[in-house]
Chains A and B, each alone.
Chain A
Amino acid sequence: MSDATGTATAGGAEKEGSAGITRLADVDAHPHPMRSQAPVSIHITGTEVRYGDHLALARVDLDVQIGEFVCLLGPSGCGKTTLLNAIAGFVEPSAGIIEVNGAEVREPGRERGVVFQEYALFPWLTVERNIQYGPKLRGVRGAELKTISDKYCALVGLQGAAQRYPNQLSGGMRQRVAIARALANRPQILLMDEPFGALDAMTRQTLQEELLKIWEIERLTFVFVTHSIAEAVFLADRIVVMTAHPGTVKEVIVNRAPRPRSRTSEEHFEMYRLIDTLFQEEAARAAAAHP
């Protein structure tokens, strides 16, 4: 099994988990054969983003494989959302290149679905019409449209809510709609910007588990931004650890814990500690640099 020994480097640093975690990869209960020698989905080289004089994201090099689940993890101001927005095509890098399936990203495109923290559902459309919006733009009409929205409503557990408006739904339900809307457009990559950040802890866990199921079914490349170490450890194949001032990739950590994962296993806590230590080190360094 060499599926998780990533092709990626970020500033040249890629770290395996501790010995225990590496060992666990050998008994991976749910291997992803597609992912083992998968070609590159997102190729990021020397990407840097400036807003005026402010360096929001310092030079990043990162490759994401097709079908991989990558988390961008870090505190606010570390540039994780900026990096996601650059991949999405919402912001233009001031240096470097981002390629998706070999083509340079210049603008948003339907092969890159996006789920936003603030849901971003169209409040004037029903759940069903929100989900149908992407396919409709592609020219899908009539019964086929209905088939698509029914399928994705079912996938995210929204049966019965199809005719409701977003403001009639809870936060968790809205985010399900947002995920369904992005998936219904058949993207190759799903970019998620702290999608569960505004949800309560219980809903958050449920949605994390369902997101993993969807990922197993749809077999897409997932890039998921979060500031929660536990979330990243539970979800990701690889965790891109980022630090602030300026936004930089500090480490890329391979997470080989077998799936389905447990939130209370030793491996989980070990990985958590490893990443937490990285942030502690960084905080100590920052404190020393600016006393």
Chain B
Amino acid sequence: MSAVAGRPRRRAEVFGVQQISTTRRMVLAMVSVSAVIVLWTALSETGLVNRVLVPSPSDVMHAGLAAVRDGSLLRNTIASLLRVLEGFALAMVIALPLGVLMGVSTAVRGLVEPLIELLRPIPPIAFIPLAILWFGIGEISKVTIIAYGAFFPIFVNTMAGFRDVDRVHIRAAQALGAGRYEIFRDVVLPSAFPQMVTGARLGMGLAFIVLVAAELVAASEGLGYLINDARFSFRTDQIFVGMITIGVLGLVLNKMLLEAERRLLRWKFQ
């Protein structure tokens, strides 16, 4: 498939390097999504797969509409989103100052880094049992686990941002008459800012993943709860509704954060 008929593709444009137009990308996206839906419909309608285990797209659509009508989908979505935001905010409040401190002070880095490196391999899900024992199955345990999950990307990127400030920028500011305070305000902060924003975006993504895990284990509302609850009544169509909602929500959230990143860092993307 050559981008322009008759013109041979240049070598430098092979693999990921070649530019792709927006329309072309939209067309490709529609092709792949509709192909999956067609295949899915064919599999369940022809009875090749058990329809109880794999509901047809129309079953899922009906279940989705029902969930919208009785308000359960909205309620559960809002409950989940609130948890994500709370956990994310908690993570930011802890990770940002700690990241800044560790980025600028080698002493703090030396003290805290071993602890962080020890904690990092422990996945958030492993903390769920402990969180339930400590905080019960209420909001606090879930928000804490989400915050734990979101903490690391925010923290690690913030620290790296503050640690890796280009020395030549600091020297340039010094030669122009900047003192310690001005260097921090005018050079260190703006240098580290892009990585802080990236960290926040990755943290938000992780918060979302951890959220569903936490809700699967213990919750009385939320998208994870919706999925788990549907399992008990063998409503695979509702499970699909919950999962698709999570997928779409995650996609939209990521797009929004990417857009926010572009706007905040205009100088980088122009």
Contacts and interface: CB of A to CB of B under 8 A. Distances in A.
A114 B178 CA distance: 13
Q: For chain A, give the interface size range.
A: 20 to 34
B178 A137 contact: yes
Interface residues of B, number: 21
B268 A167 contact: yes
What are the nearest 9 A-B pairs in CB distance?
A: A110-B177, A108-B174, A134-B176, A120-B172, A114-B175, A120-B168, A165-B267, A124-B190, A137-B177
Given A114-B171, A116-B171, A138 B177 contact: yes
B182 interface: yes
Interface of B: 166, 168-169, 171-178, 182, 186-187, 190-191, 193, 266-268, 270
A164 B182 CA distance: 23
B65 to A, nearest CB: 48
A166 B187 CA distance: 15
A123 interface: yes
B140 to A, nearest CB: 39
A168 B178 contact: no
8 contacts: A112-B175, A120-B166, A120-B172, A123-B267, A123-B268, A124-B193, A165-B266, A165-B270
A24 to B, nearest CB: 36
Query: In the complex, which of the residues A113, A137, A168 has the most CB atoms of chain B within 10 Å of its own CB atom?
Result: A137
Given A113-B175, A166-B267, 20 more contacts: A108-B174, A109-B175, A114-B171, A114-B175, A116-B168, A116-B171, A120-B169, A120-B171, A123-B267, A123-B268, A124-B193, A126-B267, A137-B177, A138-B177, A165-B267, A167-B270, A168-B270, A181-B172, A181-B176, A185-B177
A112 B270 CA distance: 32
Interface string A138-167: 100000000000000000000000001111
A88 interface: yes
Which of B173, B191, B266 has its CB near the most chain A CB atoms (within 10 A)?
B173
A185 B267 CA distance: 24
Contacts of B182: 137
Contacts of B177: 109-110, 134, 137-138, 185
